[in-house]
A = this chain, B = another copy of it.
Amino acid sequence: MVPMERMVYAFEDGDRTMAAILGGKGANLAEMTRSGFPVPPGFTVTTGACNAFHAAGSLVPDGLWEEVDASVAALEEKSGKQFGSVTNPLLVSVRSGSPISMPGMMDTILNLGLNPKATEGLANLTGDPEFAWEAYRRFIRMFAEIVFGVPAEPLDHAMERAQEANGGSLDEEGLRSLIDRMERIIRGHAHRSIPEEPIEQLHLAIQAVFNSWQNRRAIDYRNHNGIAHDLGTAVNVQTMVFGNAAGESATGVSFTRNPATGEPGLYGEYLPDAQGEDIVAGVRTPLPVSDLARVMPDRYEELAAHAEALEQHYGDMQDIEWTVESGTLYLLQTRRGKRTGRAAVRIAVDMVTEGVIDHIEAVKRVDPDQLEQLLHPVVDPDASFEVMATGLPASPGAASGRVVFDADDAVVAAAEGPVILVRHETSPDDFHGMAVAAAIVTSKGGVTSHAAVVARGMGKCCVAGAGDLDVDYAKEQVSSGEIVVKKGEWLTIDGNSGQVISGHVDTIEPTFDDHFETLMAWADEIRTLKVRTNADTPHDADVARRFGAEGIGLCRTEHMFFGEERIAAIRKMIISQTPRERRDALARLEPYQVEDFIGIFETMDGLPVTIRLLDPPLHEFLPSHEELTHELTDLKVRLQSAPDLASLDAMLTRVAELDNLIAQVERLSEVNPMLGHRGCRLGNAYPEVTEMQTRAIFTAAVKCAERGIVVKPQVMVPLVGFKGELDQQAEIIRRIAEEVLSQEGIDIEYTLGTMIELPRAALVADQLAETAEFFSFGTNDLTQTALGMSRDDAGRFLPSYVEHGIIAADPFQSLDTTGVGGLIEIAAERGRAGRPDIELGICGEHGGDPASVAFMHGVGVEYVSCSPFRVPVARLAAAHAVLNE
């Protein structure tokens, strides 16, 4: 027979390296004990025991109880207390603790060891019978629910009735009679009583913790967070100490530094004369831990010294639970302290200054995703407010403003102060409203809906798909249950959490400090991947450059067409019947485009600017069919009561216009616009458009170059699937560029390349590379086509797929490295075969996602490009990618 591995470790027998078998909490308790910190003694049942229990079909492994019982005996000896003693009873807590933290998912039982006799003992010891019987009541309440599965409701109901009958609080007598009643209820439900024998209580409690590893909640949590199901949980059995014992007693939670700001020094809160769970329960308001310095100066000094020692010991900011029991300080737990992005940066940088870690470790310590918090406003964490609905956190930041439901109203209202644009969903027609809004809320759509993408591009807060909101355009109000917010009333949006809050709440603006700059400089030294930005306006380009962007990886030209005069010209272009008419309309647009490009080249002086030619289907530039037919119906009704002939005439003209527009919209409508007439398919159908855009790019480049600005244009052809498509566009671009440059007598180096955003393009990358000098992976569309999944429609099944683990993560947020990534690898390999020095980059939404950045680093691309506010995130993620190699 194979000797069974050891299944129980006293705290003094383990250390921090043993999280796999002792769980995170157990390993830390052992480490603290071993390092001489004042930890109440105890022992840990291993994850191996838990796994053996489940492997055997919920059978306790042979020898476990012997080891547990021996450990209890050792504990009794160490503490001088005995299980069930009337003079000095040993009470323990029984807590789960898995190798990877799963907060709140599994069960805890406190005060185990109490029975009527031991309760008398506790009363004797503390001189406080009410405290003792209340502790017993709490124990049987927890034990009944967790071990026997007795529903909480009748037990809580019994207590409420007892409290009512006794005018609120219960004395010993009241508690005893309540406990009698509770025990009857427990017997009624469980057909047995809570065992009096503490060791028997302990055996049952340990089994219950084992079982809680397999409860629905825990399984779902593991699925959701990608935690393996075979890790198992350890069980920590620890001597209870009481922050509500006689004399100098208190309990608290402290951080070794401020977890919100990173400021050095002990931070946290405590309650005098309380048990740990009272802090969590929130019935009493805790005091700042700094008060302790005044009330119990010696204990405070002791705590502060321990805190500093623990931080030194672990080399990171700690989150410590502690209790003072009758003048003695105990540490109950320590763990790595959670922190805000701001605090993470400051702590990492400070610790380098303090010599605790080096700057590589500092860079590693900050999660790139956390950085984004620093770059956007946040809702004041001290404010109280009412959440109407929670949608998807589609674009970070926070804003308060007055509600509007229409883009035009937004423009009007924005002159008076901040506005929040609330829509079912947005379309390019809403662009001017989105541009002036402080935040955008939609009741439909996902994190890659139009609203979300545009908002992120603008670095503007957005909550998308807040399905609980009932947006009523006709009544001009948004409601959720009882809460109704009308046009002009205040709404507050938290794009970090997805919360939609009724009323006005203060927000806190971001600031950049030296810590941030220092950390980013370290990251830049490490990373090899360049970071560019997706920017369509000089303003965005400027923001991104200040965030460290090293060029523009994607300048979308279509957003430039949405100004009032421009949209009129592009609509004229769309309804043109001949190339000549089309050229005339385009000629009106050209000066605008030149102006746009000049602004962007100026801002990006010396850096590459990748400009994508017109991409979206033309119908996106037309008003919606619904809107037009609505206006038409309306007009036809009003026709009958036209006040005079002139008005009638004007109305009739508009009717004709509308009829024509509706016909165009119908003609251009598509069944699957994502797969329709767009990208280079437009440029090939209407070469005039490519000609105009190319002329504008090079005219702008020449004008800038004449003023000494260094321009590096990269002209990018979208949605290429066939080499012939690229070649036709390349012929136009090279011809027009040559025309403009030779006319001006200036030589500007430029490159010509293509998006890789269709699976076919990836497969024929070698052919495309014969023409293209660079590839830019458009991972949004590549994801949509490779997965056959429309990002606008995926909301109906994707969340459930992620929840059930069919897909590890939303592929529109984090790159599907197997499928889409597989195509990228093929394209990179074949592209390099076709042109060894081809420049590779990525410009999809994934450019700002750390996991995706790591993947692209592995593929060996030159740069990633992301929205301006993600640039620092990508810089840090690129450094992490090097460090994790």
A interface, CB within 8 angstroms of B: 670-677, 681, 684-685, 719, 721-722, 724-725, 728, 757-760, 763-764, 781, 784-790, 792-794, 796-797, 800-801, 804-807, 816, 818-820, 822-823
Shortest Cβ gap from A676 to chain B (Å) = 4
Which residues of chain B are within 8 angstroms of A818 by Cβ–Cβ distance?
760, 763-764
- A674 vs B671: C-alpha distance in the bound complex, in angstroms? 8
- Of the candidates B760, B797, B800, B801, the one whose C-beta lies within 8 Å of that of A816 is B760
Taken together as a complex, chains A and B put the C-alpha atoms of A812 and B671 apart, in Å, by: 17
Please pick, from B670, B671, B722, B804, the residue contacting A807 in the complex, using a CB distance under 8 A. B722
Smallest CB gap from A793: residue in B: B676
B676 touches A819 (CB 8 A): no
- Cβ A819 vs Cβ B764 within 8 A: yes
Q: Is the CB of A788 within 8 A of B677?
A: no
Which residue of chain B lies nearest to A806 when distances are taken between CB atoms in the complex? Answer: B724
CA distance A675 to B675 in the complex (A): 9
Which of B728, B788, B801 is close to A675, meaning CB atoms less than 8 Å apart? B788
| Interchain CB contact (< 8 A) of A721 among B787, B793, B823 | B787
In the complex, chain B residues whose CB is within 8 Å of the CB of A816: 760
Q: Determine the chain B residues whose CB is within 8 A of the CB of A681 once the complex forms.
A: 797
Q: A685-B797, A788-B781, A806-B725 are in contact. Are A822 and B674 (CB under 8 A)?
A: no
Residue of B721, B790, B801, B819 touching A671 (CB-CB under 8 A): B790
Q: Are B786 and A759 in contact (CB under 8 A)?
A: yes
Assuming A672-B793, A721-B819, is B806 touching A787 (CB within 8 A)?
Answer: no
Number of copies of this kind of chain in the complex: 2
In angstroms, Cα B805 to Cα A725, docked, is 10
Chain B residues contacting A800 (CB-CB under 8 Å) are: 684-685
Residues of B close to A822: CB separation below 8 A: 763-764
Q: State the Cβ distance, A199 to closest chain B Cβ, in Å.
A: 43
Question: Hey, which chain B residues are within 8 Å of A684, CB to CB?
Answer: 797, 800-801, 806
* Cα distance A796–B668 in the bound complex, in angstroms: 9
Known contacts A724-B805, A804-B724; is A760 also within 8 Å of B819 by CB? Answer: yes
- Cβ of A790 and Cβ of B675 under 8 Å apart? yes
Contact B674 A675 (CB under 8 A): yes
**A757 to B, closest residue via Cβ:** B788
Report 13 cross-chain contacts, Cβ distance below 8 Å, ordered by A residue. A672-B790, A672-B793, A676-B796, A677-B797, A684-B806, A685-B796, A724-B806, A725-B806, A758-B786, A758-B788, A759-B823, A760-B819, A785-B788
**Cβ of A673: which chain B residues have Cβ within 8 Å of it?**
671-672, 793
CB neighbours of A685 from chain B (8 A):
796-797, 800
Chain B residues, CB < 8 A from A672: 672-675, 784, 790, 792-793
**Docked-complex contact B805 and A787, CB < 8 angstroms:** no
Complex CA–CA separation, A369 to B781 (angstroms): 37
Chain B positions within 8 Å of A804 at CB level:
724, 728
The 10 residue pairs across chains A and B that have the minimum distance between CB atoms: A724-B806, A760-B819, A675-B790, A672-B790, A676-B793, A759-B759, A671-B792, A758-B788, A763-B822, A672-B672
Chain B residues closer than 8 Å to A675, beta-carbon distance: 672, 674-675, 784, 788-790, 793
Enumerate chain B residues within 8 angstroms of A806, measured Cβ to Cβ.
Answer: 684, 722, 724-725, 728
Q: How far is the CA of A50 from the CA of B380 in the complex (A)?
A: 82
A763 touches B676 (CB 8 A): no
In the complex, A800→B685 CA distance in Å?
Answer: 8
Instruction: Please state if B670 and A790 are interface contacts (CB–CB under 8 Å).
Output: yes
Q: A675-B784, A684-B800, A758-B786 are in contact. List 18 more A-B contacts (CB 8 A).
A: A670-B793, A671-B674, A671-B792, A676-B790, A676-B793, A676-B796, A681-B797, A721-B789, A721-B819, A724-B807, A728-B806, A758-B788, A759-B785, A759-B819, A759-B823, A760-B819, A764-B822, A785-B785
Which residues on B sit within 8 Å (CB–CB) of A763?
786, 818-819, 822-823
Instruction: State whether B788 touches A721 (Cβ < 8 A).
Output: yes
Complex Cα spacing A684 to B802, Å:
12
Q: How far is A631 from B719 in the complex, measured between Cα atoms in Å?
A: 41
How many angstroms between the C-alpha atoms of A570 and B179 in the bound complex? 57
In the complex, A758→B789 CA distance in Å? 10
Question: Least Cβ distance of A576 to chain B in Å?
Answer: 15
Q: Nearest Cβ in chain B — how far from A681, in angstroms?
A: 5
User: Which residues on the B side are within 8 Å of A807 (C-beta)?
Assistant: 722, 724
Q: Which residues of B contact A725 (CB under 8 A)?
A: 801, 806
CA of A764 to CA of B764, assembled, Å: 19
Chain B neighbourhood of A719, CB < 8 A:
788
- Candidate in A719, A722, A725, A788 with the most chain B CB atoms within 10 angstroms: A788
A638 to B670, CA, bound (A): 34
- Knowing A806-B684, A819-B759, say if A677 contacts B793 (CB, 8 Å): yes
Q: Roughly how many angstroms separate A148 CA and B84 CA in the complex, as a whole number?
A: 122
A785 to B673, CA, bound (A): 13
Q: With the chains together, A877 CA to B232 CA distance in Å?
A: 59
A682 to B, closest residue via Cβ: B797
A720 and chain B: residue at smallest CB distance: B788
CB-based nearest B residue for A760: B819
Residues of B close to A796: CB separation below 8 A: 676-677, 685
Name the residue in A672, A789, A819 with the highest tally of chain B Cβ atoms < 10 Å from its Cβ.
A672
With both chains docked as a complex, state the minimum distance between the C-beta of A690 and any C-beta of chain B, in angstroms: 14
Q: What separation, in Å, do the CA atoms of A361 and B675 have in the docked complex? A: 44
A725 to B794, CA, bound (A): 15
Chain B residues, Cβ within 8 Å of A819: 721, 759-760, 763-764
- Min CB distance A772 to B, Å, is 16
Cβ-defined partner of A788 (8 Å) among B760, B801, B805: B760
Whole-angstrom distance between the Cβ of A394 and the nearest chain B Cβ: 17
Tell me which residues across on chain B come within 8 A of A790, comparing CB atoms: 670-672, 674-676
Chain B residues in 8 Å Cβ range of A728: 804, 806
With a cutoff of 8 Å between Cβ atoms, the chain B residues found around residue A759 in the complex are: 759, 785-788, 819, 823
Least CB distance from A764 to B in Å reads 6
A476 CB to closest chain B CB (Å) equals 21
**Bound state CA distance, A785 and B764, in angstroms?**
15
Q: Which chain B residue lies CB-closest to A449?
A: B671
Chain B's nearest CB lies how many Å from the CB of A844? 14
A414 to chain B, nearest CB (A): 29
Closest residue on chain B to residue A676 by CB atoms: B793
A796 to B760, CA, bound (A): 20
- The chain B residue with its CB closest to the CB of A668 is B796
Report the Cα distance A812→B806, complex, angstroms: 31
Using Cβ atoms and an 8 Å threshold, which residues of chain B touch A788? 674-675, 719, 721, 757-760, 781, 785
A81 to B671, CA, bound (A): 70
A560 to chain B, nearest CB (A): 24
A757 CA / B674 CA spacing, docked (Å) = 18
A564, B784: Cα distance in complex, Å: 36
Complex interface: chain B residues within 8 A of A674 (CB): 671-672, 675, 788, 790
Q: How far, in angstroms, from A728 to B784 measured CA to CA in the complex?
A: 22
How many whole Å from A102's CB to the nearest CB in chain B? Answer: 22
Shortest CB-to-CB span from A737 to chain B, Å, is 22
| CA–CA, A673 and B794, complex, Å | 10
- Please indicate the chain B residues that have their CB under 8 angstroms from the CB of A671 in the complex: 673-674, 790, 792-793
Q: Chain B contacts of A801 at CB under 8 A?
A: 684, 722, 724-725
| A807 to B786 Cα, complex, angstroms | 21
List chain B residues, Cβ under 8 A from A805. Answer: 724
Which residues of chain B have C-beta atoms less than 8 A from A677's C-beta?
793, 796-797
Please report the C-alpha to C-alpha distance between residue A823 and residue B670 in the assembled complex, in whole angstroms: 27
A781 to chain B: closest residue by CB: B788
Query: When chains A and B are docked, how far (Å) is the Cα of A757 from the Cα of B788?
Result: 9
Q: How far is the CA of A792 from the CA of B804 in the complex (A)?
A: 33
* Most-contacted residue by chain B among A673, A725, A793, A805 (CB, 10 A): A793
Chain B contacts of A793 at CB under 8 A? 670-673, 675-677
| Complex: A763 Cα to B818 Cα, angstroms | 8
- Smallest beta-carbon distance A52→chain B, Å: 27
The complex places the Cα of A797 from the Cα of B618 at a distance, in Å, of 13
**Which residues of B have CB within 8 Å of A823?**
759, 763
| A393 nearest CB across to chain B (Å) | 22
In the assembled complex, how far is the CB of residue A820 from the closest CB belonging to chain B, in whole angstroms?
8
Write the nearest CB–CB distance from A785 to chain B, whole angstroms: 5
Task: Give A685 Cβ to nearest chain B Cβ, in Å.
Answer: 6
